[in-house]
Structure 1
Amino acid sequence: MNLIKKAISTLLVTCAMSTIAGAQQKYEWKESTSGGYTYKYITNDPMKARFYTLKNGLTVILSVNKKDPRIQTLIGVRAGSNNDPHDHTGLAHYLEHLLFKGTQQFGSLDWSKEKPYLDKIEGLYDNYNHTSDLSARKTVYHQIDSVSGLAAKYAIANEYDKLMAGMGSQGTNAHTWVEETIYEEDIPSNVVDKFLTVQAERFKDPVFRLFHTELEAVYEEKNRGLDNDARKSYELMLSSLFPTHNYGQQSTIGTIEHLKNPSLKAIRDFYNAYYVPDNMAIVMAGDLDPDQVIRQVDKAFSYMRSKPVNEYKAPVEKPISAPIVKEVFGPDAENVMIAFRMPGALDVKSNVLLSVVSEVLNNGKAGLLDLNINKQQKVLKASAGAMTWKDYSVFSLNGTAKQGQTLEEVKDLLLGQLEILKKGEFDETMVKAIVNNAKLSELQGLESNNTRASSLMDGFIKHRGKNWLTDVSFVDDMGKVTKQQIVDFANKYFANNYVLLYKRKGEDKNIQKVEKPAITPVEVNREAQSVFLKEVNEMPASKIQPLWLDFNKDIQKGKLGAADVLYVQNKDNSLFRLYYRFEMGSWNNKLLPLAAQYLQFLGTDKYTTEQISKEFYNIACNFNVSAGTDVTTISISGLQENFDKAVSLFEHLLKNCQPNEQALTAFKGRVAKGRADSKLNKGNILKGLASYAMYGSKNPFNNQLSQADLDGITAQQLADILHALPEYQHSVIYYGPQTLDAAIAAVQKEHVVPAALKPVPVAVKFDKIDQGSNQVLFTDYDMVQSEVNWVRNTDTYKAENTALVDMFNGYFGGNMGSIVFQTIRESKALAYSTYAYYATPDRKDARYSVVAYVGSQADKMNEAINGMNELLNDIPRSDKLFETARQSLKQDIETERITQDGIIFNYLAAKKLGLDTDYRKTVYSQIDGITFENVKQFHEQNIAKKPYTYCILASEKKVSVDDLKKYGDVKKVSLEEIFGY
């Protein structure tokens, strides 16, 4: 479960509510009745959202999208860390975790026998909460652990996940943030009754079982945050910006002190206070009948009783009169953040202006930061954006230094762009372009059920949906903003009233970790099923028939010179996506990725690089050149009405880009700094270790240019690569509203393909190595946790094994209801994140790999490794879980709809594996015939009692080399060996 929801700018949240038409529309609230229920809606709302308020105060918001036979569901509570008691921070987040543990009806073998133990545990935690003597606390915790083990004998771990997986739900998750707790499911459209039955029971009277092991998972989540420099910077920024408001004074995950002293009674009080219908909303977007669904929701949740909610009374923060300077230390790359406190979502006018100002500064193409800083390579990277909450918003400027540059210099450059904004030294026509690009985003956003549901829920959290009219008209309102208003807004809010935060490289001497308590593994009762689960599984559901791709019918083919054309028509809207796909990448030419990146800094004989960015932004189109290891893709996208302009402009750039030595010098410096920063990032290090384990010392991850090679590159070399690119073998892919012939003709006007194309250069080949004996690859990193990957390569790809591999992954370690997750996290509380799966290669001559992972506290590493090894060597049997995995896989296939240009890319992926048909059809036909014995035999042949390479990233201050030697020969791998430079 994600702790901090990804911040989405107001523009992106509301772009799905703008109008498609160029002329402004009339938006107003209307009321209508259908199916016996009255609802409100906004005229000209492209989502056609219906807003219902049930008799008990529960808000229900529905949006129909018939694209796929699935529905994105969100159940939201307007309560987060803002609402935590001051002496129990992190409580809302605790509760979110506990809402997955079941009720009296599910998650329990025998509630009458389980309850006395849970009551005793609650009392013991209350005692623990009020005990300060360390010896006495250990005694109480030992009692908690002992009684929890007895209670667990009556618990059914992960029964909620089994319920959802059994009905074909995907994306089971939840998150807590400052003003919200949101529960997420993506369900097949034929299981609405089942889904609502489970959710109504789930929120009726949740039981806080298996608490001490779940608490340990939260400890792990806290420790992961302590290893995350960005998280630490974020929290310090908020605490500095909001010295009295809970935005800054109560972190979502809570303080270490409060994590160590939880109160089940306080959690129950929080639930009773905030999980009430007046404070909750159910949002559903997708393939649904609103009249039927509202009846179902009303019936399922009618038990809820209206109850007033005491909302958080936000203090008024005193103005910041001078810069507040803070520092964060840690091992990751340095950067600088400048954050301003701004008006919140309820100040609609300011919110509109803030969104426009944010885009004027940074829109990815033509903003002040884009043109004046990023295009001119004055820093490694710079960005800006707004994070909008109910009471206040946060606007921040962010920058990373290039080689030889100080963070203070980066700060001055960022503030300099604010001065330009305040003086009005920007093109006023940019506002029109901002609106056009928002309308493009709207078309794209409407295709996604998740975007629809998230936008609707965001409106409920901020203002209970009452301002939906404002949200729907938001982009039109942006179009009314004048240059003078932007200047006035900037001068009003951007002064010396900011928090300046330097993230510096160095040891964090203040860091603490949540110590590991003594936990005895608890029962998970895998084979057990509640009566409730059986009843839900037996509820009738109409059958959804799977739809298979027929590559011969679903894709039209043509020729453009010597290039193949692959075509699928867009019959839904006016968007197009055009691709030139080359079967070559860095394995064919190490300079190709550099040339692709270099292009963004080049101009032509007619346009500067800044003018090209402006032109693309003005016509609301995008281009990108992406060079991977074995495929390079050029993409051009936007509105079909601007197709000719976009393609013509890109082709002109590619053919006529002029080598620029000054730009190359700056680019080389940025590449060198980016490479150095990458070596500071633990995620990249672990990824490199895994590649080393999989392929050996020479591997795809470290297939990099040496510093000498990088220094020797000339501007002409890179320009020549770009100019020559269309001469190599490639295919043309078009998805858009034009017919095939019209599309070919339109592309042909600009993209001239010779009669004979050059063959691609021979690629360097990377073969996976055999793991002949156990080995440990260790790299030292200053961190609280330890992270461990298991790697083992097995056989060459066999198409006939696909169904068996999918069944194994679904059962063994691919999701929250799997054997691995249940054992490592739910039973033994050894990790927050863990998985294990059999990785399928992407080409027919490549090999499978076994990949497993555990991220745990360093002092639990040995236990975590042993726990995973037990599972790798002996796969536990659970017939019930196996059947759930089977049904989940079948329903995933039944409700999956591969559409749009996804059809073409699915075809290309199948072709790479040597397939000429939709492999899902074969998998679907084989699923019912796969038995546990088949999976067990597969496990024994490929996984059990086999040698592995352990990739371990940890602080050598916290792990013992002698411990590492228990698992195999130890090799300490340097960063130079991992990264290749």
Structure 2
Amino acid sequence: MGVTPLARPKIRLLWAIVLTLFLWLGVSEPAWAQVFGKLDRQIEGSSTLAVAEDGSTIQPYLDRVANDVSEFTLDNGMKFIVLERHQAPVVSMMLYAKVGAVNEVDGYTGVAHYLEHLAFKGTTNIGTTDYAAEAPLLEEMDAVFGQLMAAEKVGDDEQLAALHAQFDTLQAQASGYVEQNKFGQIIEQSGGRGLNATTSADATRYFYSLPSNKLELWMSLESARFLDPVFREFYKEKEVILEERRMRVDNSPIGQIVEKFLEVAFDEHPYRRPVIGYKEDLRTATRADIAEFFDAYYGPSNLVAAVVGDVDPENVKALAKAYFGRSKARSLPPDVTIEEPVQTQEKFFELTLPSQPWYLEGFHRPGINHPDHVVYSMIESILVGGRTSRMYQDLVEQSQVALNIGSANGFPGDLYDNILLLYGLTAPGHTVDEMALRMEALLTQLKEESVTPEELERVKTQARAGMLRSLDSNSGMASLLTEYEAKTDDWRNVFEELKAIEAVTAEDVQRVAQATFVPSNRTVGKLLSAEP
């Protein structure tokens, strides 16, 4: 989801908003993944660190771990990061594609998320009983779908009915060749756990864990699905994704205000568009659109893999060459060059929907590679970091204007300049305007008064604990190594994070707060209750 224990968005609200913000931040769980989700930690290979949360004690440990990490790059440009951990005979793998919703263009939103779903549909050999017979049906379905879209534009109802019947027949025939969830079945039968994938604004991640003697299986499966993908059941998956959007956005007041918030907060940058995509774009997307996007962004030089666990780095390298080395090198895709103009005046909007009242306000902040990115995370912890935080104590415990509060730091992504979002659910008998006043007072206090040494140490302790939790599991380490490599161009930066945390001063917090929490940099969204 995010990139560091500090910069990672922290979702702390009721389940409705949790689901919505998880979707925006890139937590997507297709149906095939649910059977694995509850079991992923059973073979995780956690090292159970016996390290105190004092910074002077943690850093030597981090240095030792960093020394155990090795890396290599294949001739086609794909990079691998390997960490030996022999606590348990398991290995966790992360394949990180440096592509997300931010790389889409207007009119084709949601294609990155489509690809995440379709990557599990198999290859010419996996997921089908007879690809030679299946392939012509897939192509014919594509042609009929194009005719359907054309007939819809001219409003030819008679032709539409005939085409729908033809399409349904073709889809039924193609389904007869599909081996459902074959990819997941192979992994499950081999002892795999935690099979999942996420699409976010900045990246798409594919990950799971296996017994260490099944490492070659991962190499075989992962290389095949990105070397020889078949986007079968595309039109069935289209309905799944459209239903996901209806549930989490169109029929959700929280989903609607989150989508509207980013459209208002960003004028130009692609962060303004939803990760899941707009309804019309999803509905009219074609299999050719997905294939074109795949060809542009899934070249080996745009992928980073991490292998963490009970492995021999030389064996990993040999297997990687044998399997992933089959992919031909491609030129890197174009970077996102659109820059968000500096906001010069406060932005504001209201939505009136059948919902409890919510209040949201967000402030533009720089991306992960800015020197102050850790300071923003410290500020978030001071304001919203648990029950001892300023906002929880003031809004929930003392004034009781809010039932709950939360934040998302690095929203909706953090590779580029983004948003520090603060939000709250209004308590009965109180208004969103009361919450706005209380938040304003707390932000003013942070700008005008220096944080105490005790409070600063508290949030640093929270940061150390969060870092330890992330580093304590094979999958957590694989996630961090790929994230830092992709976003900061060097996985080693994950081990420098503690030094940056320890270096933050009260003056840094006040300086960044004064520069950030100004009206001209603020976007406010209010979700008001519709009259019954």
Fold-level similarity (TM above 0.5):
yes
Measured in 2, the distance between the counterparts of 1:243 and 1:12 equals 24
Q: Which residue of 2 aligns with 1:354?
A: 376
Measured in 1, the distance between the counterparts of 2:397 and 2:211 equals 45
Conserved in 2, the CA contact under 8 Å of 1:10 and 1:355?
yes
Measured in 2, the distance between the counterparts of 1:367 and 1:143 equals 60
Per-residue displacement from partner, 1:850-882 (whole Å, max 9, x unpaired)?
A: xxxxxxxxxxxxxxxxxxxxxxxxxxxxxxxxx
Conserved in 2, the CA contact under 8 Å of 1:399 and 1:411?
no
Q: Which residue of 2 aligns with 1:448?
A: 473
Q: Which residue of 2 aligns with 1:71?
A: 91
Aligned counterpart for 2:132 among listed residues 112, 122, 127: 112
Gaps of 5+ in 2: 11-48
Aligned counterpart for 2:253 among listed residues 229, 235, 239: 229
Measured in 2, the distance between the counterparts of 1:470 and 1:183 equals 22
SS in 2 for 1:51: strand
Measured in 2, the distance between the counterparts of 1:98 and 1:198 equals 14
Aligned counterpart for 1:133 among listed residues 154, 167, 174: 154
1:393 aligns with 2:406: no
Q: Label 1:420 to 1:137 Cα distance change in 2 as closer, same or farther (>3 A).
A: farther
SS in 2 for 1:115: helix
SS in 1 for 2:93: strand
Q: Which residue of 1 aligns with 2:27?
A: none
Return the offset for 1:60. 1.2
Q: Which residue of 2 aligns with 1:482?
A: 505
How do residues 703-852 of structure 1 correspond to structure 2 at under 5 angstroms?
none
Q: Which residue of 2 aligns with 1:190?
A: 213
Per-residue displacement from partner, 1:53-96 (whole Å, max 9, x unpaired)?
A: 22211121223333433322221211111222322211111122
Return the offset for 1:421. 0.5
* Letter of the structure 1 residue corresponding to residue 206 of structure 2: Y
* Letter of the structure 2 residue corresponding to residue 241 of structure 1: A
Measured in 2, the distance between the counterparts of 1:170 and 1:190 equals 14
Conserved in 2, the CA contact under 8 Å of 1:314 and 1:391?
no
Conserved in 1, the CA contact under 8 Å of 2:9 and 2:409?
no
Q: Which residue of 2 aligns with 1:62?
A: 82
* Higher mean C-alpha deviation, range 54-63 or range 128-137: 128-137
Q: Which residue of 2 aligns with 1:101?
A: 121
Return the offset for 1:279. 0.5
How do residues 107-256 of structure 1 correspond to structure 2 at under 5 angstroms?
107-131=127-151, 132-134=153-155, 135=157, 136-225=159-248, 226-248=250-272, 250-256=273-279
Q: Label 1:286 to 1:469 Cα distance change in 2 as closer, same or farther (>3 A).
A: closer
SS in 2 for 1:10: coil
Q: Label 1:448 to 1:325 Cα distance change in 2 as closer, same or farther (>3 A).
A: same
Structure with the bigger percentage of helix: 2
Q: Label 1:114 to 1:231 Cα distance change in 2 as closer, same or farther (>3 A).
A: same
Return the offset for 1:228. 2.9
Aligned counterpart for 1:431 among listed residues 456, 464, 470: 456
Aligned counterpart for 1:258 among listed residues 281, 288, 291: 281
Return the offset for 1:449. 2.2
Q: Label 1:72 to 1:113 Cα distance change in 2 as closer, same or farther (>3 A).
A: same
Q: Which residue of 2 aligns with 1:557?
A: none
SS in 2 for 1:285: strand
Conserved in 2, the CA contact under 8 Å of 1:326 and 1:502?
yes
Return the offset for 1:318. 2.0
Return the offset for 1:133. 2.6
Q: Which residue of 2 aligns with 1:498?
A: 522
How do residues 603-622 of structure 1 correspond to structure 2 at under 5 angstroms?
none
Measured in 2, the distance between the counterparts of 1:143 and 1:8 equals 50
SS in 2 for 1:71: strand
Q: Which residue of 2 aligns with 1:85?
A: 105
* Letter of the structure 1 residue corresponding to residue 185 of structure 2: K
Per-residue displacement from partner, 1:359-415 (whole Å, max 9, x unpaired)?
A: 222221543224433442433223334125111132011122223111110011011
Conserved in 2, the CA contact under 8 Å of 1:87 and 1:258?
yes
1:286 aligns with 2:309: yes
Conserved in 2, the CA contact under 8 Å of 1:233 and 1:503?
yes
Per-residue displacement from partner, 1:32-63 (whole Å, max 9, x unpaired)?
A: xxxxxxxxxx9444694333222211121223
Q: Label 1:46 to 1:376 Cα distance change in 2 as closer, same or farther (>3 A).
A: farther
TM-score (norm 2): 0.84
Return the offset for 1:149. 1.9
* Higher mean C-alpha deviation, range 132-141 or range 306-315: 132-141
Measured in 2, the distance between the counterparts of 1:280 and 1:143 equals 39
Q: Which residue of 1 aligns with 2:389?
A: 367
Q: Label 1:352 to 1:6 Cα distance change in 2 as closer, same or farther (>3 A).
A: closer
Conserved in 2, the CA contact under 8 Å of 1:128 and 1:137?
yes
Measured in 2, the distance between the counterparts of 1:471 and 1:287 equals 21
Return the offset for 1:8. 7.3
SS in 1 for 2:398: coil
TM-score (norm 1): 0.47
SS in 2 for 1:186: strand
Q: Which residue of 2 aligns with 1:38?
A: none
Conserved in 1, the CA contact under 8 Å of 2:101 and 2:200?
yes
Aligned counterpart for 1:277 among listed residues 292, 297, 300: 300
Conserved in 2, the CA contact under 8 Å of 1:362 and 1:370?
yes
SS in 1 for 2:196: strand
Work out the percentage of aligned pairs sharing the same amino acid: 23
Gaps of 5+ in 1: 28-41, 508-781, 783-981
SS in 1 for 2:213: coil
SS in 2 for 1:473: helix
Return the offset for 1:110. 1.6
1:422 aligns with 2:447: yes
Q: Which residue of 2 aligns with 1:23?
A: 56
Measured in 2, the distance between the counterparts of 1:366 and 1:55 equals 51
Per-residue displacement from partner, 1:288-340 (whole Å, max 9, x unpaired)?
A: 33232232222111111221222342322222233222223444432111111
Q: Which residue of 2 aligns with 1:378?
A: 400
Per-residue displacement from partner, 1:240-268 (whole Å, max 9, x unpaired)?
A: 111211110x3222212112212111111
Measured in 2, the distance between the counterparts of 1:241 and 1:281 equals 31
Conserved in 1, the CA contact under 8 Å of 2:482 and 2:491?
no
Return the offset for 1:425. 4.4
SS in 1 for 2:202: coil
Conserved in 2, the CA contact under 8 Å of 1:96 and 1:181?
yes
SS in 2 for 1:260: helix
* Letter of the structure 1 residue corresponding to residue 303 of structure 2: M
Measured in 1, the distance between the counterparts of 2:221 and 2:333 equals 28
Q: Larger Cα Rg: Structure 1 or Structure 2?
A: 1
Conserved in 2, the CA contact under 8 Å of 1:129 and 1:261?
yes
SS in 1 for 2:372: helix
Measured in 1, the distance between the counterparts of 2:358 and 2:217 equals 48
1:10 aligns with 2:35: no
Measured in 1, the distance between the counterparts of 2:357 and 2:88 equals 44
Conserved in 2, the CA contact under 8 Å of 1:20 and 1:442?
no
Conserved in 2, the CA contact under 8 Å of 1:124 and 1:144?
yes
* Letter of the structure 2 residue corresponding to residue 198 of structure 1: L
Measured in 1, the distance between the counterparts of 2:127 and 2:55 equals 54
Conserved in 2, the CA contact under 8 Å of 1:435 and 1:476?
no
* Letter of the structure 2 residue corresponding to residue 500 of structure 1: V
Measured in 1, the distance between the counterparts of 2:494 and 2:110 equals 31
Q: Label 1:67 to 1:234 Cα distance change in 2 as closer, same or farther (>3 A).
A: farther
Measured in 2, the distance between the counterparts of 1:211 and 1:385 equals 33
* Letter of the structure 1 residue corresponding to residue 518 of structure 2: A
Conserved in 2, the CA contact under 8 Å of 1:106 and 1:159?
yes
Q: Which residue of 2 aligns with 1:718?
A: none
CA RMSD of aligned residues (A): 2.8
Measured in 2, the distance between the counterparts of 1:196 and 1:364 equals 41
